[in-house]
Amino acid sequence: MATENKNVVVKSNRLVEASYRLTLVEQQIILFAICKAREEKILITPSTLITISANEFSAMFGPGSTNVYAQLKVAASTLFDRRVVINDKDEKTGRPRKVMTRWVQDVAYIDGIGQIQVAFARKMIPYITRLEQSFTKYRLEKVGLLSSAHAVRLYEMMIQRLGMSPVPAISITSLKDALDLGNEYDRTDNLKRAVIDVAIKQINKLTDIDVSYEQVKTGRSITHFKFSIALKKTGADAITEKWGPIEVKEKVPRKRRPKQLELPGCITAPIEQNPNNPEVVAARQKAMDAAKKMRSRPAAGQGLE
């Protein structure tokens, strides 16, 4: 399978916007199963069991536990009882509806070889397979290092909105509903400190996007959060953004300086003082030979293309 399609999570936008709450490992099981089914071109039906081994799970998400298989078994067991509420439309009337379903139809464990198996629930299958219209897509490794379940959910919501201009504000009510927080964090400052700020800190540090937000008031009350989302700069783009365009100067060949001929002192003295000195005669001949060789060489900068 092509590398660009490996470990790709694809979800219906309705599922990204749905109301549910999963632990980190439960979310990782769901995401891993979606990726594996796409990568291995598995036809997903209510009876299709997707196998996840402890080894491949650990390779994607890190060890995290001394007994990954035991961790998977516990998460698969609790996942069996998890529900999700999807805001949908009735096909006949076109009116809004809420669909309550479970994530998985069956779970199984294979002891001795460290494997679990999951089968998606019937109502869930269209939201991870029939993606001809609106969907959100990202690579699984982008959330592989996140340790907050809320960070994974918020990352998906931010990726869904990446590129929108302007990015629509999210009401606090809608955000809490999507994260299935119920009556928790009634005070906005508690919601920011315990959920949003923790999630954004991890997203900015460990994923491929940078996220920030500002509060929006309706009257005197904070009612919405407006998020800013951008892909991180990498390589040359990051250098250019930080330091500006880099000017590349063309290298100019250095001119060669002509060698200076050093003559012994007996040559520089007037010849009349020692015309028959053998040393003078030999030195003069050596100097004339050297001068002849220098004249036969091209001048500095000449003869070069």
Q: Which of 11-15, 49-53, 112-116, 173-177 bottoms out in mean pLDDT, i.e. has the lowest? A: 11-15
Split at pLDDT 50, 70, 90, the class of 297 is: low
| Same-domain check for residues 15 and 134 | yes
In a shared domain, residues 7 and 131: yes
- 122, 199: one domain: no
pLDDT in tens, 199-241: 999 999 999 999 999 999 999 899 999 999 999 977 544 434 4
Which of 106, 123, 142 is a domain's end point? 142
CB 145 within 8 A of CB 62: yes
Q: Are residues 165 and 93 in the same domain?
A: no
- For residue 17, CA distances in Å to 8, 13, 43, 98 come to 19, 6, 25, 12
Residue 58 has pLDDT above 60, yes or no: yes
Distances from the Cα of 229 to the Cα of 2, 148, 160, 204, 240, angstroms: 28, 19, 10, 10, 20
Q: Bigger pLDDT: 132 or 25?
A: 25
Residues 217 and 170 in one domain: yes
Q: What does the DSSP 8-state code read for residue 255? A: P
Q: Which residue has the higher pLDDT, 303 or 80?
A: 80
| Two structure tokens written together for 231 | 């892909």
β-partners of residue 216 are 224
Whether the Cβ atoms of residue 264 and residue 244 lie closer than 8 Å to each other: no
Q: Are residues 193 and 229 in the same domain?
A: yes
Dump pLDDT digits (tens) for 16-39. Answer: 989 999 999 999 999 999 999 988
279 within domain boundaries: no
**Which of 230, 246, 262 is where one domain is finished?**
246
Strand partners, 213: 227
Domain limits at 203?
145-246
Residue 122 located in a structural domain? yes
Say whether both 172 and 230 belong to one domain.
yes
pLDDT of 141 reads: 85
Q: What pLDDT was estimated at residue 280?
A: 64
**How does pLDDT run across 158-171, given as a tens digit for each residue?**
999 988 888 899 99
Count structural domains, the chain.
Answer: 2
